[in-house]
Amino acid sequence: MVLGLSHITLVVRNLDRMEEILSKLFGARKIYDSGDEIFSLSGERFFLVGAGVESIWIATMEGDPLPTQTHNHIAFRIADADYDDYVSRVGDLGLTCREGRSRVEGEGRSIYFYDDDNHLFELHTGALNDRLTRYAQTPTTV
């Protein structure tokens, strides 16, 4: 039986740059740095994003970036009141924003952006239950 999400690993060219993105944007706390030691495939760092039992373990490993940008992504939930603050943070880090998809009223707002290694992230103000509730209402063409 699957107990939940263990961790997310992102392969990046520059561990320092990804640490800057994770800490300044998500408030990530670095909990491990392999330094000169190699226990896995390459140098790596571990971070926690969020608080308590809801924390998400993100591992970063040195390596070649993704060759292209796709819509495969990792979405983090944010409060709607924090939306504009996160738009500013993304811009301050010089990250490439991607135009969001069309949305129907009630499913939340999203900020999509790429890191330097073509990983797509989403900051989303809604939750699964919000979306399911909205989709169960009278269908609306987007």
According to DSSP, the residues that pair with 124 across neighbouring strands are 77, 110
Name the residues annotated as catalytic: 44
- Of 64, 81, 102, the residue that ends a domain is 64
Same domain? For 27 and 86 the reply is no
Number of residues that make up the chain: 142
Q: What is the CATH number of the domain that holds 103?
A: 3.10.180.10
Ordered per-residue pLDDT tens for the chain, 142 residues: 866 788 899 999 999 999 999 999 999 999 999 888 887 888 899 999 988 778 899 999 999 999 998 888 999 999 999 999 999 999 999 998 876 666 666 677 889 999 999 999 999 888 788 778 777 776 655 5
Alpha-carbon distances of 116 from 20, 92, 97, 119, rounded to whole Å: 12, 14, 12, 8
| Number of domains the chain is built from | 2
| Residue 10 domain boundaries | 1-64
pTM: 0.82
Same domain? For 4 and 59 the reply is yes
Same domain? For 27 and 94 the reply is no
- Of 64, 97, 118, the residue that ends a domain is 64
Tell me the backbone φ, ψ of residue 112, rounded to 5 degrees: -105, 135
